[in-house]
Structure 1
Amino acid sequence: MSDVQFFEARDGVRLAWRELGEGRPLLLLHGLFSSAEVNWVKFGTAARIAAEGYRVIMPDLRIHGDSEAPHEEEFYPPDVLVRDLEDLIAHLALTDFDLGGFSLGARTSARAVVAGMKPRRLILGGMGLAGLAGWAKRGQFFKRVIAEYESAKRGDDTWLSIQFMKTMKVDRIGAGHLLDSFTDTPPEALAALTMPVLVVCGEQDQDNGSAPELVATLADARLATIPGTHMSSVTQPELGEAIAAFLTA
């Protein structure tokens, strides 16, 4: 495992990434309040993919992991995570690569393609149609997570997300601004996703809507169902297996 590396985004914010393996580049983006280490490294997913001859590149998204979390609103324009991804790709001088992510990482990957990015293949993990087209409702939940950070009690619907935020030491001010930077992706915009797409989702994961609905909307998509919920599916070896199978098919 390589040590954490850093680069500067176009607005001067210092962002981190990690790499594992050598070969064809695959960028993998983690989920909300997580990190590259927790989402991809800890449970062996990155190592499983790297074993197939891939250079797995895993950024810590703005406000997450080892990346900076500025408090000023100006650092969170619409789709700032797409801009950060573009800046990392430019920094690494990548021209031909695959792209994917889990949950927020999947949203960001889809938004990047809608904005014109052209990965050869795309992986959308923990994602259904509503997670792209109906973000506003999901966003309100995470606004409550931040608002109830100190007051939630065990059993509240926000409790588990708050505990995860605390474990990951997520900056609440930065997180609030970042949530405001997210935009919806209407189903018709998904016509931009013309490349082969893997939608991989836990069998008990409905957090971002229906994965089969998302597959049905896309031009060239296949569904892989793995064990687990939205929180637990990223810990399963089946996630790495499904991604490796898709990339090597």
Structure 2
Amino acid sequence: MASFDSDGVEIAYIDEGEGEPILLIHGFASNVVTNWVDPGWVQVLVQSGRRVIAYDNRGHGKSEKLYNPEVYGAPAMAEDARRLLDHLAVARADVLGYSMGARIATFLALAHPDRVRGLILGGLGINMVRGVVASGPIAKALEAESINDVTNDTARSFRAFAEQTKSDLKALAACIRGPREKITPERLATIGVPTLIAVGTNDVIAGSGRELASLIPGAQLLEIPGRDHMRAVGDAAFKQGVLDFLTRRP
């Protein structure tokens, strides 16, 4: 992976293929390889004639690890995305974010609507507004000496995933303890770019995709049949729905 300086933070990224650019933003405790390469997203998008840009969020993957929670707010992380587009001289791109990446993508679209051609929010429904799971137990699970010390089932699943992705547990704990900026219905109503909401029908972490879509003018809903939060990522119906959206959106 290449890297660049995002206002003092080293961010690792990939840039593959040619054609209309699409920026991919992964979820919490994940990385480019786990979220986008291994599930086949990069291959599918490149084969469809697109330029695929994806990066490891600060504190994740091969990007710089930071241990101050205050530097992990979603608006600040959205500026990493904007600076990467600047670094690559990409004026405007489609943006696909999953879970935490969907929050970051939304803040990017709100702060820099001229840089976002189409917005795809995966793995996050109405809980973008209501808030997702409590961060305290997850942070404590990440900081625990062993996963065997974690009794909360949800927190344990996050710890297990973080270990699977070989993440820096202390950096992730700082990330999830970071600022939790609210996204209100009023702010979502100002989004003017074509938007697709893609949520698994069994995804209790995301909340209702239909309710979120109702708050964004003209947003389309893609329900991923029979998939929960973790298993929706690489689903074939998700990929095809995104390709269809990219083909027909203005």
What is the TM-score when the length of structure 2 is the normalising length?
A: 0.89
After TM superposition, give the deviation of residue 46 of structure 1 in Å.
2.0
**Partner Cα distance (2:126, 2:136) in 1:** 17
CA contact (8 A) 1:36 1:65 kept: yes
Gaps of 5+ in 2: none
The equivalences for 1:1-249 within 5 A come to 4-10=1-7, 12-72=8-68, 75-76=71-72, 79-118=75-114, 119-130=116-127, 132-135=128-131, 137-148=133-144, 150=146, 151-153=149-151, 156-179=153-176, 180-227=178-225, 228-249=227-248
Distance 1:144 1:211 in 2: 29
**For 2:28, what is the secondary structure of its paired residue?**
coil
Q: Tell me: CA distance 1:74–1:217, structure 2 relative to 1, closer, same or farther (3 Å).
A: closer
1:72 Cα offset (Å): 4.1
Tell me the distance in 2 between the aligned counterparts of 1:77 and 1:185.
Answer: 12
RMSD, aligned α-carbons: 2.0
Shift of 1:133: 1.5
8 Å contact kept, 1:113–1:192: no
Q: Say how many residue pairs are matched.
A: 243
Structure 2 CA distance, aligned partners of 1:194 and 1:232?
A: 30
Q: Quickly say closer, same or farther: Cα 1:189–1:142, change in 2 above 3 A.
A: farther
Q: CA separation in 2, counterparts of 1:113 and 1:138?
A: 25
Q: Could you tell me the percent identity over the aligned residues?
A: 30
Q: Report the Cα offset of residue 109 of structure 1.
A: 0.4
Alpha-carbon deviation of 1:148? 4.6
1-structure distance, mates of 2:134, 2:153:
16
Q: Distance in 1 between matches of 2:223 and 2:242?
A: 11
Q: How far did 1:174 drift?
A: 1.9
CA distance 1:74–1:202, change in 2 (3 Å): closer
Deviation at 1:74, TM superposition (A): 6.1
**Structure 1: unaligned runs, 5 residues or longer:** none
Distance 1:209 1:73, change over 3 A: closer
CA contact (8 A) 2:109 2:119 kept: no
Distance (whole Å) between structure 2 residues aligned to residue 163 and residue 171 of structure 1: 13
- Give, in angstroms, the shift of residue 97 of structure 1: 1.3
AA matched with 1:124? L
Q: Is the 8 A contact 1:13 1:68 kept in 2?
A: yes
Q: CA deviation at 1:162?
A: 0.9
When structure 1 is superposed on structure 2, of 232-241 and 29-38 the one drifting more is 232-241
Question: Relative to 1, partners in 2 of residues 1:138 and 1:215: Cα closer, same or farther, differing over 3 Å?
Answer: farther
CA shift digits 1:208-246 (9 cap, x unpaired): 211000111110111111131100111222222111111
Aligned partner of 2:245: which letter?
A: F
Q: Distance in 2 between matches of 1:218 and 1:206?
A: 21
Q: What is the alpha-carbon distance in structure 1 between the residues aligned to residue 108 and residue 88 of structure 2?
A: 17
Aligned-partner residue type, residue 123 of structure 2: G
What amino acid is aligned across from residue 210 of structure 2 in structure 1?
P
